[in-house]
Amino acid sequence: MSESTLREAIVRFGRSLFERGLTFGSSGNISARVDDGWLMTPTSVALDRLDPARLSKLGSDGQHLSGDQPTKEAFLHLAMYLERAGAQAVVHLHSTYSVAVSCLANVDPADVLPPVTAYYVMRVGSLPLVPYHPPGDRALAEAVRRLAGRHHAVLLANHGPVVAGDSLEAAVAAIEELEETAKLFLLLRQEKTRWLTAEQVAEVRRRYPPK
Ligand SMILES: [Zn+2]
């Protein structure tokens, strides 16, 4: 995909995520890999107001090359890319249900959500919780890096999800699946439920091996 097509795609997905209430205010950010670095959504701009020509461009060592100043959460994206050579895009949202789950006590920090559906297993798989850090704390990048090699999706405690994909479409689809699964989990948490069994999860993974 050419850089200009990718710029248009980031703007289109940003608007779509914003208009469907998956992010709000100037929260949430999107990045994608290009030949000579990364495109990233700028700081302090709502995702429905992105301008393809003003997206931030970062060089291969993470320095700002052109466009507006990148999101202050750029380090989260770079932490994912540094550990995942195949990652082509990263999306981070403050999507309501995922944030709600990120605040729950008594979840398994190694894998926060149960296997609610096969689609969740296919698109997200497992979801470790990254301990809480204040905004902008660089220790958060280290904490993400420690998990990113083994997980393309992580949940930042009291903050929100960060999801990488082998395409921009895949990263967006995965974070949407995560958000809907978080919603289902909260709807069902007080009910007697049948999550997928370990055997059913293994069968899905055999048919659709995680990338
Ligand atoms: Zn954030």
Find, among 77, 64, 69, 88, the residue nearest to 29 by Cα: 77
- Average pLDDT by consecutive 10-residue portion of the chain (211 residues)? 95 98 95 97 97 97 96 95 97 98 96 96 96 90 96 97 97 98 96 96 92 67
DSSP structure class, residue 55: S
Q: How far is CA 59 from the centre of its chain?
A: 21
Residue 119 known to be catalytic: yes
179 tagged catalytic: no
> Which residue bears the tokens 């461009």?
57
Tell me how far the alpha carbon of residue 190 lies from the centroid of ligand 1, in angstroms: 28
Q: CA-to-CA distance for 53 and 21, rounded, in angstroms?
A: 25
Q: Give the amino acid at 70.
A: P
Helix (H, G, I), strand (E, B), or coil: what is residue 205? helix
Q: 197 alpha carbon to ligand 1 midpoint, in Å?
A: 33
Q: Classify residue 52 by its DSSP letter.
A: G
The pLDDT of residue 209: 83
Q: Tell me the HSE value of 39 on the side-chain side, using a 13 A CA sphere.
A: 24
Q: How many angstroms separate the alpha carbon of residue 40 from the centre of ligand 1?
A: 14
* pLDDT value of position 128: 98
The answer to whether the CB of 90 falls within 8 A of the CB of 38 is no
Give the C-alpha separation, 136 to 164, whole Å: 20
User: For residues 151 and 211, what is the distance between their CA atoms, to the nearest angstrom?
Assistant: 10
Return d(Cα 128, Cα 111) in angstroms, integer.
5
Catalytic pick among 8, 119, 132, 203: 119
Measured in Å, residue 16 CA sits from the centre of ligand 1 at 18
pLDDT value of residue 211? 67
AA letter at 100: A
**DSSP string covering 14-47, please?**
HHHHHHTTSS-TT--EEEEEETTEEEEPBTT--T
d(CA 89, CA 100): 24
Count of other CB atoms within 10 angstroms of residue 81: 22
In this prediction, residue 146 carries a pLDDT of 96
Phi, psi of 205 (to 5 degrees): -70, -30
